[in-house]
Amino acid sequence: MKNELINTIEQTMAAALTPDQQRLLHHVLQEAMEHVTVTPTDNQNRNADLLSAFIAAKRVEGCSDRTIRYYESTLKKVLTAISKPIPAITTDDLRRYLDQYQQQSRAGKATIDNVRRILSSFFAWLEDEDHIVKSPVRRIHKVKTTKVVKTIYSDESLEALRDGCQTLRDLAIVDLLASTGMRVGELVRLNRADIDFANRECIVFGKGAKERTVYFDARTKLHLRNYLNSRTDDNKALFVSLDAPHERLHISGVEIRLRALGRRLHLDRVHPHKFRRTMATLAIDKGMPIEQVQVLLGHSKIDTTMHYAMVNQSNVKESHRRYLG
């Protein structure tokens, strides 16, 4: 362990030192390490402290609880597998881990790149905070992934979903997701008081605790009113469980309900996020400027909006005939 630490320091300083200075550094480090006792427990505690500090920083930045848990569990697995003090972890260590993880879990390239991005964020933070000299992830390039064209709901599918809802609550959820394009996490945080029926709008809290206004159509307004008028509970949440004690609906509750609705109607891949992608695509197809779609979706970068919005292929064909045919 001491030799690994010495090697790490020497490699880090090599470019800044002459050969004579490198030899002197090597001698000084060896002398110093003779009087230092570092136990595996010390390393584990130090690693745990650094990880805890990073997670706290992410929480302060406004990352969601789900994101925080994903970061923490991923990094714990990496640190346990490599089993080195964080400053001694090298690029080769991380490459070997990613390779072994991919082979053992048979994870897809997108998953591996997600792990790489988390590692990049962690080690970049360590570098910025002066816990390490240079991030070992810098030389690990983005994993090339196959671009998959994600589907959206057709007009027929949306109508089938509305017709297939067996409760006023589920119908209101489908309409609100379809007309606003809000995230499911934003939907379940809404309270009754957040809905402005007069202006058909509401304020949601998106990623990073950022506020934005979203808008819904007249049909959604009608179905939301019908659902709220049917409720007998006093919970402030906009959407609650069907059974007493009528607690606030969670993300998993919405996802489970929509999957069950899709299976019953024999529709493929029914999930909340698909409504968001559908709204973005329809808005762009109907001529809404991409910058306005970006605001509606709450994206900080327009590239993200372009990734969400699938261009209608029939419109591409028509434009080709009009401009190039």
Q: Quote the DSSP letter at residue 211.
A: E
Q: Write down the catalytic residue from 117, 248, 259, 273.
A: 273
* Residue 215 falls in the annotated catalytic set: no
d(CA 2, CA 31): 11
> Of the residues 84, 207, 259, 307, which is catalytic?
207
E strands, 26-142, are none
320 catalytic, yes or no? no
Cα(203)–Cα(213) distance, rounded to whole angstroms?
A: 4
The CA-to-CA distance between both ends of the chain, in Å, stands at 69
Establish whether 271 is a catalytic residue: no
Q: Are 230 and 168 in contact (CB under 8 A)?
A: yes
Per annotation, catalytic residue among 116, 169, 183, 257: 183
Go through the chain and tell me how many residues it has: 325
Sign of CA dihedral 52, 118, 66, 201: positive
* Catalytic residue check, 183: yes
207 is a catalytic site residue:
yes
The rounded Cα 171 to chain-centroid distance in angstroms is 27
Cis omega (within 30 of 0) for bond into 289: no
- CA 168/CA 184 separation, integer angstroms: 18
**CA–CA gap between residue 159 and residue 51 (Å, rounded):** 48
Which one of 169, 221, 223, 276 is the catalytic residue?
276
- Burial track 49-73 (b if 16+ CB lie within 10 A, e otherwise): ebbeebbeebeeeebbeeeeeebbe
Instruction: Give rounded-to-5 percent helix, strand, coil for the chain.
Output: 65, 5, 30
For residue 233, report the phi and psi dihedrals to the nearest 5 degrees.
-85, 170
**Is 227 marked active-site?**
no
The tally of CA atoms less than 13 A away on the side-chain side of residue 250 is: 3
Which residues are known to be catalytic?
183, 207, 273, 276, 299, 308
